[in-house]
Amino acid sequence: MDEVGVGALAGPLVGAAVMLPRAARLPGVDDSKRMTPALRQHWARVIRERCIAWAVIEVGAVEVDEIGPYRASLLAKRSAVLALDPTAEYVLVDAHRLPALGLPQEPTIGADGRHLCVAAASVLAKVHRDALMVALDRRFPSYGFAQHKGYGTAAHLAALARYGPCPEHRRRYAPVREALGRAPTLFDD
């Protein structure tokens, strides 16, 4: 499993889990960050057709603010794994061990570039989150969410300074706090 959107200033954090058959071959699938949007869209359809099971979970901006981005990423990944049907027997996870999962797991730094099932999960999570951000762009067109997907680009920071945060901005994050006139603060994660 994998997640996307941890560092974004706006929108949900999305976790995904994918269970592939042992002999699965998806020659164009890689870490979603290394794929074009068109390739991600294509492979997301193929992954959903060929996998044994998949699940995508959203953790909204308000909850990310409440529990912190690190805990939100663990929650999204854990929830995605537990939503798989059939249940996973073994879990490959990108970076961090998931507490209280109750399944054998192997955390690996860079797993989305080394294990096909983690790469497939990163593709599903990225495609899902990107679609959510395009929808948010229609609700809040001043911010350019369709282009930067909520990440802290120069254009996003300029819009944030000009219009202030919308309800989908994470108030825990320093640029959003600054736009609200609050000093950046360190939080426990």
Would you tell me which CATH number, out of the four given (3.30.70.100, 3.30.420.10, 3.90.1150.10, 3.40.50.1100), belongs to the domain 2-141?
3.30.420.10
- Which tokens belong to 71? 């805990």
Instruction: Tell me the C-alpha distance between 29 and 44, whole Å.
Output: 9
Antiparallel, parallel or unpaired: β 2-4 and 105-108: unpaired
Residue partners of 102: CB distance under 8 A and separation at least 6: none
Instruction: Tell me the C-alpha distance between 95 and 6, whole Å.
Output: 13
pTM: 0.93
For 137-176, write each residue's pLDDT tens digit.
999 999 999 999 999 999 999 999 999 999 999 999 999 9
For 26-64, write each residue's pLDDT tens digit.
999 998 999 999 999 999 999 999 999 999 999 999 999
Instruction: Tell me the C-alpha distance between 92 and 119, whole Å.
Output: 11
Burial grade of 181 (CB within 10 A; 0-12, 13-18, 19 or more): exposed
Closest CA to 158 of 9, 47, 21: 9
